[in-house]
Amino acid sequence: MDSEIQSIDKNKPWSSVKLPAGQRPIGLKWVFKLKKNVEGEAVKHKARFVAKGYVQRHGIDYDQAFAPVARLDTVRLLLAMAAN
């Protein structure tokens, strides 16, 4: 958790702003994950500090969403063009 907080302090991914009247802040939570190797032995403990985005409402808390995910059809097309 300490390394995650240090990373947040270093990178400054967000800034504090004044909350609009009548609005509630979005909550935050810690997500913990145990990384394992091929044999199933614990290798690394990871912690992430994330916003509870599932409580946001479109048009109120955010205007647009972007997820950098490629569709399988697009990947197939690119692979076919590269193979050709």
Domain ranges of the chain: 2-83
Residue 3: which of 35, 53, 44 has the closest Cα? 44
What distance in Å separates the CA atoms of residue 84 and residue 80, rounded to the nearest whole number? Answer: 6
Structure confidence at residue 47 (pLDDT): 87
Structure confidence at residue 64 (pLDDT): 72
pLDDT < 70 positions in the chain: 60-61, 66
pTM surpassing 0.75? no
Structure confidence at residue 61 (pLDDT): 66
Structure confidence at residue 83 (pLDDT): 95
